[in-house]
Amino acid sequence: MPDNRISAALSQADQQAVLAAVNTIREKLPFLVDLTPEERRALPKMGETSRGFVTQALAVATQNEDILPRSFDVEEMRKDVALLDSLQPVRTALAQLSELVEDTHMAVGSEAYTSALHVYQYARSAGKGSALDGALDALGQRFARKSRSAPAVPKTT
């Protein structure tokens, strides 16, 4: 048997509590948006190196509102920068949590699949006729090869 790194259970009550916590996060962040792939591509991207530029531009805008068109909303820019600052630690914490959940899901999936492969191997070793024929056939479907081309269907006219 391979190494079993994870030996845990998630009770239904704990699962529901986690999902409720996620819902609470969504409720506390009602302004979250869901961008389409096209919208993501079209947006100018602000990376870490642009952070200083944004801060300096806000300072210039704040100190020199008279050079900006009337339609430019300095207060809205200030709110955007403040929200950006507030979201960064939340984003970091959620990204770390998401990575842990993804890694755990992958590891426990690997453990379950490896165990299933062992069960299949042991069942095959036990051989046909040992009341495992149906189970072996069902397990063996995972490894059944599919033909690469579908048989031609004759046209009827």
Q: What is the mean pLDDT of residues 59-86?
A: 97
Q: Which residue has the higher pLDDT, 7 or 150?
A: 7
The answer to whether 142 and 117 are in contact (CB under 8 A) is no
Angle between helices 74-126 and 51-63 (to 10 degrees): 160
pLDDT at 132 over 80: no
pLDDT (mean) for 118-140: 79
Question: Confidence band (pLDDT; 50, 70, 90) for 31?
Answer: very high
89-109: pLDDT as tens digits: 999 999 999 999 999 999 999
**Token reading at 156:** 């009827």
Assess whether pLDDT exceeds 80 at residue 128.
no
pLDDT of residue 145: 72
Instruction: Give percent above pLDDT 70 in the chain.
Output: 90
Ordered DSSP codes for 96-110: HHHHHHHHHHHHHHH
Q: Burial letters for 109-142: b for 16+ Cβ neighbours within 10 Å, e otherwise?
A: eebeeeeeeeebeebeeeeeeeeeeeebeebeee
Cα 92 to Cα 4, 52, 58, 97, 106, distances in angstroms: 29, 19, 24, 9, 21
pTM of the model: 0.76
Is the predicted pLDDT of residue 2 greater than 60, yes or no? Answer: no
Average pLDDT, the chain: 89
Quick one: tokens of 101?
Answer: 């959940």
pLDDT of residue 14: 97
